Structure 1
Amino acid sequence: MAPSIAEIPEKTENAPITVPVKAVEGSAEATKIRRVIEEEGGKTTASYPNYLPVWDHNEKYPVLEPFEHVEHGLNADPTFKDLLPSSSKITKLTPSTGSEVTGVQLSKLSAAGKDQLALLVAQRKVVAFRDQDFADLPIQEALDFGGYFGRHHIHPTSGNPEGYPEIHLVHRDGSKSEFESFLANRNSAVGWHSDVTYEQQPPGTTFLYIFDGPEAGGDTAFVNQVEAYNRLSPALKERLHGLKAVHSGFEQAEGSRSRGGVVRREPVQTEHPLVRTHPATGEKALFVNGGFTRSIVGLRKEESDALLGFLLNHVGRGIDYQVRVRWAPKTVVVWDNRVTAHSAIVDWITGERRHLARITPQAERPYETPYVSEPEPKPEVFKA
């Protein structure tokens, strides 16, 4: 999904962003601006036309600079008293992964409530909040809310609302032709990924909210990477610790260029540990995904392909630690990008628009804590 924003290297949680370099009008670099609303003839059925995507080929951002991330879930009150009042209701979607909340208005949360939100999402991995006013807020207010959780990330290739490059937009028209084009070289819409893990500091607490969606279909699936790690044998866990993998943004940039799309920032690749530790919960999680993880450092290609292939298959087939979130009007889904992967489900051909916005605060650089050996399970003794 998204990358990040070029910013002044200031040691604050929300360092100010730099102004993008605009190409000189009439120069070779000055190119087109694509607007969906213009492609729809200036008239649109979109419920929120101010959120329709724009791709400005003139905007270029410099490389990202490191920043100091503050983890708000670290010292949050685990009773969640400022987040979940007695009038609210929280329901588990599966035993290990995902919850749904009603009776809470995210935009009204206090600082303590936001801290507890970060902790709840870290614990449950993904939380769907219903009946939210996010879509109706001025865009800058929505960004101000998201900016509490980290520095905003500007995606290098996606569309955004005009004037707000920090918003990553998801937009499909749901036509049969688009569906057939999407599946032209694949058998399934499933594409597990964690957002922009090629960045040195990938996203943490992440927000996605909906404007329009099909009556049925277009769900989002999430997989719990902590539970995926927990299911591995102690011997394999121990072997994975200390290994790093290469995460690359080059393929995403090339894919955009090949379609005539934008590339606002030159692509990068970064090495991250195969197993990362969450700073608020201390949980260990697999940190690999099919979208951006390319190889394991220090292994020969056949070895890397085999081990990485096993891990990705393990994540993808783990239906018992996955959850499927169904979208409904006024829903905001919040997930922790550090310990999950997700996939959109492209399964409708009714021509209904699927239109969502993502706010993507960056977090700390992934790190791992030492492996702690686990006691071998004792064999059961048969008793008559």
Structure 2
Amino acid sequence: MSQTQTITQTQAPNVPQTLVLKNPVQAEEDYRYSHLLPHFSEDRYPPLEPFEHVDPGQRALTHPNPRAFLENATSVVELTPRLGTEVRGINLAELTADARDELALEVARRGLIVFRDQHDFIDRGPDFYKQWGSYFGRLHIHPTSGHPAGYPEVHLVYRDANSTFNFEIAESTTSTFWHSDVSYELQPPGLTTFFLLAQPTTGGDTLFTSQVSTLQKLSPPFVTFLRTLSAVHSGVEQANFSRAGKRGGVVRREPVEHVHPVVRRHPVTGEEALYVNRQFTRRIVGLKKQESENILNFLYDHIDKSGDNQARLKWEPGTVALWDNRITAHSAIVDYGDSKERRHGARITPQAERPIPALEGLKLD
């Protein structure tokens, strides 16, 4: 298990050693985004190096009005009291540096912000996506997912009548599978941007939950205990899924496991959030197997059933969603398979800091 302390030297993104592309999805002349269809290269990447992350939202705390970027919006609607805001009338692609800082702070405070009518943003293409995401952190290159040819920093989610490259459990009775993206990394993502290039007529929504609220629903003595715990997050199962010939069948970086606090603290807002998820959390450090499984299963069940902590995003053309992976979890809803329609999404995933324990001094080594 890799156990690496964060260092302060900024590292450049890893550069692939070779470039051999596989394209299991054929380009279609009449599909507007055929240049963004998933390719699965055989590139190999070295392990990720630690880096110092500076959260843009921190700068917004000193702005005279940290929500100034919303002043020209035609509509700002809270999806739920504690999670999610829907915004219309703002062109994300034209935000200034100060406005991007304010956006980062607002996403940290609300967990999820949904921007409608962002066709300009989406149509600017992958070079712009990289420039946009790099403002918020070092871009993560997924070890197993498909990406547009030549743009490994753009993670794709894809399903059509003939193909699917999502991490799915075929034997499950439900497609709802809560997770925080690639939480197995030493420095998992912070502010993430996601949008659909194609979507089914109905279905294919995304669920989000506030891990701040799920934590606050628990009793104070139990939360005090949870703060003393750390857990292993693992990418091994995801890699093995690909090695079995699924998801595209490639593993470009060897899988890692890292230990993170069960309760983390946001570096900008100071809020505490539960930080476990079914997809990548494997065991609680220092507890016996049955003890660990009982606690984790209780927490997973709590996350699954807490509808009062959740928001449901119904996609429409031109929608761009931004969420903070440090304080939220999400799940796709794969309920559109019978329609044979295409769902094609792109994610830009900047990494953030190594999770900060809510309990000062908690050891993660």
Distance 1:66 1:178, change over 3 A: closer
Q: 1:52: which partner in 2?
A: 37
Relative to structure 1, the CA distance from residue 44 to residue 253 in structure 2 (aligned partners, 3 Å threshold; closer, same or farther) is farther
Q: Deviations over 1:319-349 (max 9, x none)?
A: 0000000111111100000011100000012
Name which of structure 1's ranges 85-94 and 73-82 shifts more when overlaid on structure 2: 73-82
| 1:163-206 per-position Cα deviation (integer Å, ceiling 9, x unaligned) | 0000000000156x979x96741111101000001000000000
Query: Structure 1: which amino acid aligns with 2:307?
Result: I
Alignment partner of 2:263 out of 254, 275, 280: 275
Cα 1:44/1:324, change in 2 over 3 Å? farther
Gaps of 5+ in 2: 1-6, 361-365
CA distance in 1, matches of 2:35, 2:164: 23
Shift of 1:149: 0.3
Matched-pair identity in %: 49
Q: How is 1:88-127 mapped onto 2 (pairs within 5 angstroms)? A: 88-127=74-113
Contact persistence 1:37–1:49 (CA under 8 A): no
Greater mean alpha carbon deviation, residues 294-303 or residues 184-193: 184-193
Q: Are residue 142 (structure 1) and residue 125 (structure 2) matched?
A: no
- Counterpart of 2:59, as a letter, is N
| 1:244 maps to amino acid | S
Cα drift, residue 11 of structure 1: 2.4
State yes or no: 1:366 paired with 2:355.
Answer: yes
Q: Is the 8 A contact 2:261 2:275 kept in 1?
A: yes
Change (3 A) 1:45 1:295: farther
- Cα separation, 2, equivalents of 1:239 and 1:87: 43
Question: Match of 1:263?
Answer: 251
TM-superposed CA distance for 1:87, in Å, is 4.0
Give the secondary-structure state (helix, strand or coil) at the position aligned to 2:321. Answer: strand
Amino acid in structure 2 at the alignment position of 1:142: Y
1:29-48 aligned at under 5 Å gives the runs 33-38=21-26, 42-43=27-28, 46-48=31-33
Q: Which amino acid aligns with 2:77?
A: T
**Letter paired with 1:11:** Q
- 1:23-57 C-alpha deviation (Å, 9 max, x unpaired): 8xxxxxxxx7321443xxx4355331111000012
Q: CA RMSD in A?
A: 2.0
Residue deviations 1:128-180 (CA, integer Å, cap 9, x gap): 101112221031112101100000000000000000000000000156x979x
More divergent stretch after superposition (256-265 vs 276-285): 256-265
TM-score calculated relative to the size of structure 1: 0.86
Tell me the equivalent position of 1:68: 52
Corresponding residue number in structure 2 for 1:19: 15
Cα distance change, pair 37–258 in 1 and its aligned pair in 2 (3 A): closer
Distance (Å, rounded) in 1 between the aligned partners of 2:38 and 2:203: 22
Corresponding residue number in structure 2 for 1:160: 147
Please tell me whether the aligned partners of residues 28 and 34 of structure 2 are also in contact (alpha carbons under 8 angstroms): no
Which letter maps to 2:14? T
Unaligned runs of 5+ in 1: 1-8, 24-31, 372-384
Q: What is the Cα deviation at residue 280 of structure 1?
A: 1.1
Shift in CA distance, 183/20, structure 1 to aligned 2, threshold 3 Å: closer
Structure possessing the higher radius of gyration over alpha carbons: 1
**Distance in 1 (alpha carbons) for counterparts of 2:31 and 2:156:** 13
The reply to whether residue 337 of structure 1 matches residue 333 of structure 2 is no
Equivalent-residue separation in structure 2 for 1:297 and 1:370 (angstroms): 15
Contact residue 46 and residue 212 of structure 1 kept, 8 A = no
Q: Matches of 1:359 and 1:293 in 2, distance apart? A: 23
Cα distance, 1:35–1:307 mapped onto 2, change above 3 Å: same
**Structure 1 residues 91, 150: closer, same or farther in 2, change over 3 A?**
same
